Chains A and B, each alone.
Chain A
């Protein structure tokens, strides 16, 4: 029983990590309707840049700032060179464009910093701590704390700042927002920047857990079912989705895996997601658009 609980909580905490990546998606999707497959590449790109700076004896703080700046540049370029030319094209086209973008980012990152695995130490040693009888990974706790802070910051940004408000306006009703003189390119640059930074943080956490390497881009694939479950356009959805995926995949791995020979965590969340899709085509939190004809 305790074991079950530990697995569950462990899964939930791991799920937070998925949420971190998913949030990056949601930001971009909400504001521009773009399904950004390049989010994973951004995670890798930022993490790799950061580690490489550290390895070149740049101080932690400077590395943070420089990487953040780089991600801003990436966001601006993405808007200037790609999105700008694809406005009001079918969403699937934009999706494929981000697929191309992810190839560019991955290629660049590895061409610049090389393809070998880099260790990343944030100074949180992953020792199990025991909280009310449950043995939990301190690192996971740290991650979830970070996530919590991140969400709070984002919501503050969205509610308190002007850009944040116009961002929400665009998300709610693009046409109205435009008529109110919100400049779309600016909005897009902003959300891509935000998504880049969120990806950066996710990259740090993932990297310090499993090493900074190419496989980081695969977290994008982990985030996919999270989004389906939570809905593409809801931050809280992303969080809850992450928790659900994390928990269910751990449980499945522990209790179903052995029966079918393990390794099911790659597809199990997807089946969960697709199953849910058939019941609620817009996910748990996303709202269903009415077909207008």
Chain B
């Protein structure tokens, strides 16, 4: 409806690209250092977007949910031998979802910043939990854990291309589900609660239940993303992989990419990953190593801060909305509106 091409064609083109072209075009560095983290961060962004962009509940606890997913998946996989890897991931997602619903409970009384603070509370509690209780890291003194090899139904996914396939498959399925949700009654309820919760309540939408669903589903996505981050991208991890900074990173992804847009989560993640790389390339090309990594990371911080402010001011709906605007413009060219 919104575009000239039916969604099916778009989707299939995308799949062809991701399945056929990318693995053929990309080398190992791209696969394991960019594409895999890109897909995983997109998934986390998608999760946060469902909660913040669609249901309008700002959260800075994303990293906590990711950590919960990762550690749950790890413990299931390592303590219950014989449990399929995907089941472990799912368990990670479910554990995160439970925590999410719990974190969302205060939204019964409180909104806005106050809710932000609740998610912060969860963030710190989880960081502490996995650090203080070695049990979670299999009594490893440093809290560092080694994940078991990635084998699913006898197939081995331990090389970069395998990583890519595994992550791509999971992300694709979850994106499809997210798309269904967004275009369904639940999606409408999310938007209703976001846009005008009093009116939502008056037309009979169970506001608290809707918010909790948003928290639960969102956290499930973040949990799976966390499990993938730990198992596929890092391979061995400790709680520091999921500190507050990660939460902000994911938040920035959806601010830049586009609140309330599925595509935005992916665009934002790509931007988030590629900008620093581009910057360090430029630095080494022009300044030829004059700036050390530390200074560079400071500049990156500045750039990101500026970008966030810029987007909030100029394009509150992020890169995705710019894309949509262009698309609309093309569809009614040469007219301005119709």
- A and B touching (Cβ–Cβ under 8 A): yes
Q: Which residues of A contact B (CB under 8 A)?
A: 35, 81-82, 85-86, 89, 91-93, 95-97, 99-108, 110-111, 115, 221, 224-225, 227-228, 232, 260-264, 266-267, 270-271, 273-274, 277-278, 281, 291, 293
B279, CB-defined interface residue at 8 Å: no
**A273 vs B131: C-alpha distance when bound (angstroms):** 22
On chain B, the residues within 8 Å of A97 by CB distance are 308-309, 312-313
Cβ contact within 8 Å between A224 and B120: yes
Cβ contact within 8 Å between A91 and B109: no
**A81 vs B305: C-alpha distance when bound (angstroms):** 13
On chain A, the residues within 8 Å of B294 by CB distance are 110, 115
Cβ contact within 8 Å between A111 and B299: yes
A292 CB, min distance to chain B CBs, angstroms: 10
Cβ contact within 8 Å between A91 and B110: no
Instruction: Add 9 more A-B contacts to A81-B309, A99-B308, A106-B301 (CB < 8 A).
Output: A93-B312, A95-B58, A100-B307, A108-B302, A221-B244, A263-B128, A264-B132, A271-B125, A278-B106
On chain A, the residues within 8 Å of B306 by CB distance are 100, 104
**A1 vs B302: C-alpha distance when bound (angstroms):** 50
**A88 vs B308: C-alpha distance when bound (angstroms):** 18
Cβ contact within 8 Å between B302 and A260: no
Cβ contact within 8 Å between B133 and A261: yes
In the A-B complex, the 8 residue pairs with the closest CB atoms = A103-B305, A100-B308, A270-B121, A107-B301, A104-B305, A107-B302, A267-B124, A111-B298
On whether A270 and B302 interact (CB within 8 A), knowing A91-B112, A95-B116, A97-B309, the answer reads no
| Contact string against A for B residues 295-319, beta-carbon threshold 8 Å, 1 for contact and 0 otherwise | 1001111101111110011001000
Could you pull out 25 A-B pairs where Cβ atoms are within 8 angstroms?
A: A35-B116, A81-B309, A82-B313, A86-B313, A93-B312, A96-B255, A100-B305, A100-B312, A103-B301, A110-B294, A110-B301, A111-B295, A111-B299, A221-B244, A224-B120, A227-B117, A261-B133, A266-B124, A267-B125, A273-B117, A274-B106, A274-B121, A277-B106, A277-B109, A278-B110
What class of interface size applies to chain B in its complex with A?
A: 35 or more
| Contact string against A for B residues 78-106, beta-carbon threshold 8 Å, 1 for contact and 0 otherwise | 00000000000000000000000000001
B114, CB-defined interface residue at 8 Å: yes
> What is the chain A residue whose CB lies nearest that of B300?
A107
B61 CB, min distance to chain A CBs, angstroms: 11
Cβ contact within 8 Å between A85 and B313: yes
Cβ contact within 8 Å between B117 and A270: yes
Q: Which residues of B contact A (CB under 8 A)?
A: 58, 106, 109-110, 112-114, 116-118, 120-121, 124-125, 127-128, 131-133, 198, 244, 248, 251, 255, 294-295, 298-302, 304-309, 312-313, 316
Cβ contact within 8 Å between A270 and B133: no
Cβ contact within 8 Å between A270 and B124: yes
Specify the main secondary structure of chain B where it touches its partner. Answer: helix
**A274 vs B105: C-alpha distance when bound (angstroms):** 11
**A277 vs B299: C-alpha distance when bound (angstroms):** 38
**A232 vs B117: C-alpha distance when bound (angstroms):** 12
**A104 vs B198: C-alpha distance when bound (angstroms):** 37
On chain A, the residues within 8 Å of B301 by CB distance are 103-104, 106-107, 110
Cβ contact within 8 Å between B109 and A267: no
A285 CB, min distance to chain B CBs, angstroms: 15
Q: Which of A96, A100, A281 contacts B114 (CB 8 A)?
A: A281
On chain B, the residues within 8 Å of A263 by CB distance are 128, 131-132
Cβ contact within 8 Å between A86 and B312: yes
On whether A228 and B114 interact (CB within 8 A), knowing A111-B298, A115-B294, A261-B133, the answer reads yes
Cβ contact within 8 Å between A107 and B118: no
Q: Which of B109, B128, B244 contacts A281 (CB 8 A)?
A: B109
On chain A, the residues within 8 Å of B295 by CB distance are 111
Q: Which of A96, A106, A274, A293 contacts B312 (CB 8 A)?
A: A96
Q: Which of B114, B255, B302, B313 contacts A277 (CB 8 A)?
A: B114
B62 CB, min distance to chain A CBs, angstroms: 14
On chain A, the residues within 8 Å of B116 by CB distance are 35, 92, 95
On chain A, the residues within 8 Å of B132 by CB distance are 260-264
> What is the chain A residue whose CB lies nearest that of B202?
A293
B302 CB, min distance to chain A CBs, angstroms: 4
Cβ contact within 8 Å between B302 and A100: no
Cβ contact within 8 Å between B117 and A225: yes
> What is the chain A residue whose CB lies nearest that of B244?
A221
> What is the chain B residue whose CB lies nearest that of A81?
B309
